[in-house]
């Protein structure tokens, strides 16, 4: 399997390469174009250019001739950690570190210039966040932003505990990069022990390889004694066991998540059914209330009609009573006038009036005789 060693800083072009180990997108993509089948990218880098790193990471994601495994041998810091998460598989060596943080820059200008640069950094952060999330299980974007804000250093155990899908690296691990104090002031002592911290300057007499391979204060050493051969069978079995364990845990976590989702969905369904029942009950109550309102409205209308009729009857009765009172008053006045002699009853002239005025049977019989004789009408 062909391997690419990303053991230096990530820079945008050849003009920015200070050391032979520095990597540009052109250098990596040129190598990638010549590959066939599965490949590995060994990483021990303190990162570098955001755009250069994104170009390399996207090239890895787009590689279609086989699977890409990214091995963190020592440190994958900043943009190097983004590249580490771009492959199909992420492996970390014992004692290795992933460092995640927000992109930063040095800028100058007026307030609008600074706001523009801040917006650009936010967009770069969101691009980086997507690569991290592709290798993280069970965390939200806000969770990942929190560890980026804090500049977080993760060894393999810490990475797995947070949710990174990390396998153990079974090959040989050797530190081959340095870190810059200005950029990574929060590096833990364990990370510092892997590589030398330095502020690199062009034209340093001391070569990078020599600085890496010796501790501070030591003189460059002669050839080192080779380590004994690895027990590859034991390493493979151990890696296989860890992979199987990781797979079992992932399956268990997925089943647990599915159960939680199913329980939550069932609870929501029950709550929805309860709400639907309450809604139906409320609709029935409303229909009953509307029916009662209609019934009361009809009764009120009938009552209004009855009240109007009673009012009309009362007015008619009042008029009749007034007429009776006027007639009684007139009769009373007539009686008083007759009693006082002011008025005398009129003398009857017609047969009918005389018959009414007759007081005895004899008078009435005499009137009949006169009527028969034609003397009275």
pLDDT tier for residue 183 given thresholds of 50, 70 and 90: very low
- The region of weakest confidence among 88-102, 202-216, 333-347 is 202-216
pLDDT score, position 230: 46
Q: Of 218, 243, 265, which residue is a domain's last?
A: 218
Which residues are known to be catalytic?
A: 78, 101
pLDDT tier for residue 298 given thresholds of 50, 70 and 90: very high
* Cβ 114 vs Cβ 107: under 8 Å: yes
Q: Of 165, 185, 218, which residue is a domain's last?
A: 218
> Residue 351 and residue 366: Cα distance in Å, rounded?
11
pTM for this structure?
Answer: 0.48
For the chain, the maximum distance between any two Cα atoms, rounded to a whole number of angstroms, is: 186
Residue 57 has pLDDT above 90, yes or no: yes
Q: Does the residue 272 lie in any domain?
A: no
92 closest CA partner among 108, 70, 77, 113: 70
Q: Does the residue 246 lie in any domain?
A: no
The boundaries of the domain holding residue 369 are: 346-377
pLDDT tier for residue 193 given thresholds of 50, 70 and 90: low
pLDDT score, position 256: 78
Residue 179 has pLDDT above 60, yes or no: no
Query: Structural domain tally of the chain?
Result: 2
If residue 39 lies in a helix (H) or strand (E), which one and from where to where?
A: strand 39-45
Residue 209 has pLDDT above 50, yes or no: no
Q: Does the residue 188 lie in any domain?
A: yes
Give the mean model confidence (pLDDT) for residues 341-352.
Answer: 72
* Cβ 99 vs Cβ 76: under 8 Å: yes
Q: Of 187, 218, 249, which residue is a domain's last?
A: 218
Of these ranges, 106-110, 164-168, 189-193, the one predicted with the greatest mean pLDDT is: 164-168
70 closest CA partner among 54, 87, 56: 87
Q: What is the mean pLDDT of the chain?
A: 80
CATH of the domain at 17: 3.90.226.10
128 closest CA partner among 155, 97, 99, 107: 99
- Residue 204, classed as helix, strand or coil, is coil
Q: Name residues whose C-beta falls within 8 Å of residue 342's C-beta, 6 or more positions apart in sequence.
A: none
pLDDT tier for residue 197 given thresholds of 50, 70 and 90: very low
Give the mean model confidence (pLDDT) for residues 209-219.
Answer: 42
């Amino acid at each position: 399997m062909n391997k690419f060693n990303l053991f230096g800083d990530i820079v945008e072009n050849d003009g920015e390469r200070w050391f032979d180990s520095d990597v540009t997108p052109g250098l990596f993509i040129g190598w990638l174009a010549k590959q066939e089948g599965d490949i590995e990218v060994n990483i021990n880098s303190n990162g570098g250019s955001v755009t250069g790193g994104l170009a390399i990471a996207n090239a890895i994601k787009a590689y279609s001739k086989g699977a890409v495994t990214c091995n963190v041998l020592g440190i994958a810091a900043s943009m190097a950690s983004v590249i580490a998460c771009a492959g199909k598989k992420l492996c970390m060596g014992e004692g290795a570190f992933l460092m995640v943080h927000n992109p930063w820059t040095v800028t100058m200008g007026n307030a609008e210039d600074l706001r523009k640069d801040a917006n650009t950094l936010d967009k770069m952060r969101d691009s980086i966040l997507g690569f991290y999330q592709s290798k993280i299980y069970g965390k939200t974007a806000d969770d990942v932003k929190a560890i980026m804000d804090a500049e977080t250093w993760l060894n393999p155990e810490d990475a797995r505990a947070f949710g990174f899908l990390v396998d153990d690296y079974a090959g040989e691990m050797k530190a081959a990069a340095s870190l810059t104090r200005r950029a990574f002031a929060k590096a833990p002592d364990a990370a510092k022990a892997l590589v030398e911290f330095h502020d690199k300057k062009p034209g340093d007499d001391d070569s990078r390889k020599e600085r890496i391979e010796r501790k501070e204060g030591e003189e460059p050493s002669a050839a080192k004694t080779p380590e004994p051969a690895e027990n590859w069978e034991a390493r493979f079995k151990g890696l296989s066991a860890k992979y199987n364990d990781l797979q079992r845990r992932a399956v268990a976590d997925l089943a647990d998540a599915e159960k939680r989702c199913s329980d939550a969905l069932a609870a929501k369904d029950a709550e929805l059914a309860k709400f639907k029942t309450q809604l139906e009950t409320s609709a029935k109550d409303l229909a009953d209330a509307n029916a009662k309102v209609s019934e009361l409205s009809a009764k009120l209308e009938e009552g209004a009609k009855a009240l109007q009729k009673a009012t009309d009857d009362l007015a008619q009765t009042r008029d009749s009573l007034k007429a009776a009172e006027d007639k009684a008053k007139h009769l009373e006045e007539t009686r008083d006038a007759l009693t006082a002699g002011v008025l005398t009853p009129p003398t009857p002239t017609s047969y009918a009036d005389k018959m009414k005025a007759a007081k005895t049977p004899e008078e009435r019989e005499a009137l009949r005789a006169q009527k028969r004789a034609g003397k009275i009408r």
